[in-house]
A = this chain, B = another copy of it.
Amino acid sequence: MSGLTVLNQAPHRSAALLVQLARRMRVRSEAAIAPLGLRARHLIALTVLRDQDGSTQAALATTLHVDRTNLVGLLNELEEQGLIARRRSSEDRRRHIVELTDAGAHLLAQAEFALAAAEDEVLAALDREQREQLYALLQLATAESAAACAGA
């Protein structure tokens, strides 16, 4: 059901607008990276990998908040496309070290470019200054919200 628009009639309530815009952003973003053969999970995994390259699968599963069982399939898909590589750890031969390949890093950069274009499209009505404002407000709100989540 996508009739969320109707909830906007309450005076100055941002909630519905927020989820509505986020949904558009998600849809556009997915469409933007689909031609690259990527889905959201792939992109998230690649992004994590760029920062903590050489992680074990268990560590990745923890970071991504997915079951290690489900991570296997995700990594398989990335490996089939040559975006990541698995190799045995020399220290502990039970472990798989996951590394971003050059192709993976390159595609990730492409994907981020496509994502930026999608974002520009969704926020087309906002000029540069307004986008900065929005970004600042979102950062404020999410930071506080994250702190509350961590406490609970």
Q: A-side interface residues toward B, CB under 8 Å?
A: 1-7, 9-10, 12-15, 17-26, 29, 40-41, 43-44, 47-48, 51, 63-66, 112, 115-116, 118-119, 121-126, 130-135, 137-146, 148-149
Give the contacting residue for A115; candidates B13, B122, B140; CB below 8 A.
B13
Given A3-B64, A137-B137, A143-B125, A19:B25 Cβ within 8 A: yes
Nearest chain B CB to A30 CB, angstrom units = 11
Number of this chain's copies in the assembly equals 2
Contact A21 B141 (CB under 8 A): yes
24 A-B pairs within 8 Å (CB atoms) are namely: A1-B64, A3-B48, A10-B112, A12-B131, A12-B132, A12-B135, A13-B115, A14-B119, A14-B123, A14-B134, A15-B29, A15-B115, A17-B135, A19-B22, A21-B142, A22-B23, A24-B145, A121-B148, A122-B141, A125-B140, A125-B141, A126-B140, A134-B137, A134-B141
